[in-house]
Amino acid sequence: MSLTTLGLIIASVCLSAIAQVVLKAGMSGTRIVAAFARDTPVDVALAIIAEPLIWLGLTLYAVGAVVWLFVLAKVNVSLAYPFVGLGFLMTMGFAIAFLGETVTPARAIGTCLVAGGVLLVALK
């Protein structure tokens, strides 16, 4: 695998991880939280549609998907897909750094084990 392809894989996974954190930030916005408190599905849907962070998160996912298509054009999916496991670590790190989430040692170890297992699969 070339360094360019590896870079595309990392970029796609990173975009997906960032998108996840942006979507969570959007869903934690005051308008959406208030809409959920009213428990009116139409209000919730309208609040979600009106939230810019939701649109940013979805856009990041879309860009990540396009980058992933370039990856799939170059390497077998069985080689590329295990790298998606890195997204677990990235998402956890971004959630800690940008959302202030706390992670228990058990959750951190479990996430690392999953990512490590995925990397083992990628190595053959």
Q: In Å, what is the CA distance from 32 to each residue of 40, 75, 77, 101?
A: 11, 41, 37, 19
pTM of the predicted protein model? 0.87
For residue 66, is pLDDT > 90? Answer: yes
Confidence (pLDDT) at 118: 75
- Check whether 93 has a pLDDT greater than 90: yes
Q: What is the pLDDT of residues 14-27, one digit of tens each?
A: 999 999 999 999 99
How many domains is the chain built from? Answer: 1
- Please state, rounded to an integer, the average pLDDT across all residues of the chain: 92
Q: Which domain holds residue 24?
A: 3-123
pLDDT of the residue at 124: 62
What are 37-62's pLDDT values in tens digits?
998 899 999 999 999 999 999 999 99
Q: How far apart (Å, rounded) are the C-alpha atoms in residues 77 and 5?
A: 12
| Helix residue ranges per DSSP H, the chain | 3-27, 30-38, 41-50, 52-74, 77-80, 86-99, 105-123
Question: What's residue 109's pLDDT?
Answer: 94
Instruction: Tell me how far apart the 2 most distant CA atoms of the chain are, in Å.
Output: 52
In this prediction, residue 27 carries a pLDDT of 96
Query: What pLDDT score was predicted for residue 119?
Result: 75
